Amino acid sequence: MAQESPGVRLVVVHPDKEVLAEAAAARLLTRVLDVQSVRSPVHVVLTGGTVGIATLAAAATSPLVRAIDWSGVHLWWGDERFLPDGDADRNETQAREALVDALVAGHGLPEANVHPMPGPSAVATPEEGAAAYARLLAEHAGDDGASVPAFDVLLLGMGPDGHVASLFPGHEGLEATGTTTGVHGSPKPPPERVSLTFEALRAAREVWVVAAGSEKADRVAAALRGDPVTEVPAAGAVGQARTLWLLDAQAAGTGA
Ligand SMILES: O=C(O)[C@H](O)[C@@H](O)[C@H](O)[C@H](O)COP(=O)(O)O
């Protein structure tokens, strides 16, 4: 799906990564509440990475968790490391420990609304996992012929090389068509992954990129000035209505 007229882009800078995670968590829970007042279900895409998981951990301690009707929320992932269920390096495992398990156990989130990307415990190859996830996304996409739900919030971390999800600079995954792709030879371990494609990322109503640390500053600047997506994949992650860049001062290039 080409992004002909990207929505509003906003950059918000916080003093450090702890404040960034707290503020992103408050913003995420408030967004779910706001969306829930006008439509249901609410679709949220989670990310791995340090700030992404810290954001979920911060959300777990917020009283706002109790204000949300979690029975009307679906959780998806933007990418997954192709590792067995329960592996500590799976984005799913880390998100479950930080927040998702507590929502299922104590706040009425149906396990059936949690949609981790399949790994080797369920399928033989990243391609099979990608195909299964594409089918699941299509089942939840609504009646308007869309191939993925119009995600209300799609969270993304960004690597120091400018990658988002498992879409790496100069890598063949950037060219993938359809909504999901199997990834081999990822420069960030592990080498095998499953990822949403740009087509799926750009279907989101809102894309939020969360990034902290001075090692990200160069690629943040490159993405914000619109460098080519082949060099800085994060530049291609834009939402239909809004794209938020939630940064700490170091990633924004303004910190010590
Ligand atoms: O599987 C992964 O590794 C992630 O989904 C990846 O896209 C991550 O979000 C970025 O690499 C940022 O990670 P950090 O915040 O740890 O740098």
Q: Identify the pLDDT of residue 8.
A: 86
Which atom in ligand 1 lies closest to the alpha carbon of residue 213? Answer: 17
Confidence of residue 29 (pLDDT cuts 50, 70, 90): very high
Q: Give the CATH fold of the 8-252 domain.
A: Rossmann fold (3.40.50)
Q: Is 173 in the pocket of ligand 1 (CB under 6 A)?
A: no
For residue range 174-199, list pLDDT tens digits in order.
999 999 999 999 999 999 999 999 99
Q: Which of 5-9, 217-221, 235-239 has the lowest mean pLDDT?
A: 5-9
User: 2 pLDDT exceeds 50?
Assistant: no
* Gap from CA of 146 to ligand 1 centroid (Å): 27
Q: Is 159 in the pocket of ligand 1 (CB under 6 A)?
A: yes
* Gap from CA of 127 to ligand 1 centroid (Å): 20
Q: Identify the pLDDT of residue 167.
A: 98
Q: Is 165 in the pocket of ligand 1 (CB under 6 A)?
A: yes
Q: Is 125 in the pocket of ligand 1 (CB under 6 A)?
A: no
Domain ranges across the chain? 8-252
For residue range 11-20, list pLDDT tens digits in order.
999 999 999 9
Confidence of residue 4 (pLDDT cuts 50, 70, 90): very low
Strand order in the sheet with 242-248: 8-14, 242-248, 206-211, 153-157, 42-46, 73-77
For residue range 146-164, list pLDDT tens digits in order.
999 999 999 999 999 999 9
Q: Identify the pLDDT of residue 138.
A: 97
Q: Which long-range contacts (CB under 8 A, 24 or more apart) does 26-31 make?
A: 26/58, 26/62, 26/64, 27/208, 27/246, 28/55, 28/59, 28/153, 28/155, 28/208, 29/59, 29/62, 29/64, 29/65, 29/67, 29/68, 30/64, 31/152, 31/153, 31/206
Contacts of 56 (CB under 8 A, 6+ apart): 25, 46, 95, 98, 99, 100
For residue range 50-100, list pLDDT tens digits in order.
999 999 999 999 999 999 999 999 999 999 999 999 999 999 999 999 999
* Gap from CA of 36 to ligand 1 centroid (Å): 28
- Atom 9 of ligand 1 has which residue's CA nearest to it? 157
Q: Which long-range contacts (CB under 8 A, 24 or more apart) does 231-234 make?
A: 231/162, 231/169, 231/170, 232/162, 232/169, 233/162, 233/163, 233/164, 233/167, 233/168, 233/169, 233/174, 234/156, 234/158, 234/162, 234/163, 234/164, 234/209
Q: Identify the pLDDT of residue 1.
A: 38
- Atom 8 of ligand 1 has which residue's CA nearest to it? 49
Q: Which of 19, 16, 18, 29 is nearest to 60 (CA)?
A: 29
Mean confidence (pLDDT) of the chain? 95
- The pTM assigned to this predicted structure is 0.96
Q: Identify the pLDDT of residue 251.
A: 98
For residue range 215-226, list pLDDT tens digits in order.
999 999 999 999
- Atom 17 of ligand 1 has which residue's CA nearest to it? 159
Q: Is 213 in the pocket of ligand 1 (CB under 6 A)?
A: no
Q: Is 205 in the pocket of ligand 1 (CB under 6 A)?
A: no
Which atom in ligand 1 lies closest to the alpha carbon of residue 81? Answer: 1
Q: Which of 87, 161, 164 to mutate to test the pocket of ligand 1 (most atoms within 8 A of CB)?
A: 164
User: How far is residue 150's CA from residue 147's CA, in Å, rounded to a whole number?
Assistant: 9
* Gap from CA of 144 to ligand 1 centroid (Å): 32
User: 5 pLDDT exceeds 70?
Assistant: no
